[in-house]
Amino acid sequence: MIPSELSTPTILIVDDMKENIVFLSRLLKDQADIIFATDGESALDKALNQQPTLILLDISMPEMDGFEVLERLKANPQTAEIAVIFVTGIPDTNTEEKGLNMGAVDYITKPFAPSVVQARVRIQLKLNRLNNDLLATNAELTRMAMTDPLTGIFNRRHFMNATVNELQRFHRHNHPVGMVILDIDKFKNINDEFGHDTGDRVLVHTAATCKTLLRVNDVFGRIGGEEFTVLLPETPLEEASEIAERLRELICTSPLELNSGQLNYSASFGVTKLHSTDQSSQQPLKRADLALYRAKANGRNNVVVFDRDSVKG
């Protein structure tokens, strides 16, 4: 994301009097890029397609006045958040109150006082910049709260929350949902022989390798150590098992490139599905974990399926 202080804001000036557009453009050119419209329909079109930072909107225009333009801007989710300053030659309290109640952020009256216009615009542009910075910060905090810092995929907390949500959806609609847990085989030996830095690279490599095969709606997370989990919405158990098998084959045929050569490794898989008896996210995870334990006991690098009544594999 480009920091807001490095991006140039855009002001849309809407006025049917071209001399007003020329005056305001010259006055504000050092603060922002300027675009303009001379009627309401053109203003709505430019607001939608060019997404200006701020709109200076004349109230008294033929065919569609500023109030109707503002009303239509606020009714469209794609333009509703654009700040609007009304421009009017009628310094009337009732008119000002109406505009503010409709969502305008400020008023500028004619004849223009240049320093006042610049100051009011500067304030709104600063508020916009601060708001964008706050949104970006909140988005980054949200991303950090749900992401594993090493691999960049979801962390355990987000995966468990996603499982709870999917379980609720499953109980409402009874759509099939598969769950896969995978564990890198002999990971301790990798750390002991090649060092923890290489171990971390194996984790990152595994995450990146799996992402090439998984679908957009699949929830892929690292739940701890060398264990990864996949939640597969709209996926019957048999299909979940096939996905796990493709992941297993992909991992063991995608070695990590080291300076000393290739590091080949494998992973074991446990597969289950959500059941109507599941009341928490821990229940399907426990079944998948039991299947994974059986896969390890079977010699590793294989897939074991835990159906409701039996373990298969």
| CATH code 3.30.70.270 for 156-312 | yes
Choice among 68, 71, 226, 238 that is catalytic: 226
**Start-to-end CA span in the chain (Å):** 47
Whether the predicted pLDDT of 4 surpasses 70: no
Rounded to an integer, the average pLDDT of 228-238 is: 97
Band (pLDDT 50/70/90 cuts) for residue 307 is: confident
Residues in the chain: 313
In this prediction, residue 53 carries a pLDDT of 97
**pLDDT at residue 6, as a whole number:** 57
d(CA 312, CA 303): 9
Contact 108, 117 (CB under 8 A): yes
Give yes or no for a contact between 268 and 296, defined as CB atoms under 8 angstroms apart.
yes
Whether this prediction's pTM lies above 0.75 is answered by: no
The architecture (CATH level 2) of 4-143 comes to 3-Layer(aba) Sandwich (3.40)
Q: Considering the chain, what is the average pLDDT of its residues?
A: 94
Which segments within 33-147 are labelled E, that is strand? 33-37, 54-58, 83-88, 106-109
Answer whether residue 262 shows pLDDT above 70: yes
Backbone φ and ψ for 161, nearest 5 degrees, come out as: -65, -40
The dihedrals phi and psi of 262, each to the nearest 5 degrees, come to -95, 140
Alpha carbons within 13 angstroms on the beta-carbon side of residue 156 total 7
Q: Where are the domains of the chain?
A: 4-143, 156-312
Among candidate residues 79, 76, 84, 123, the one with its CA nearest the CA of residue 102: 84
Q: What's the pLDDT at 313?
A: 59
Q: With 50 as the cut, is the pLDDT of residue 2 above it?
A: no
Examine the residue annotation and report whether 239 is marked as an active-site residue of this protein: no
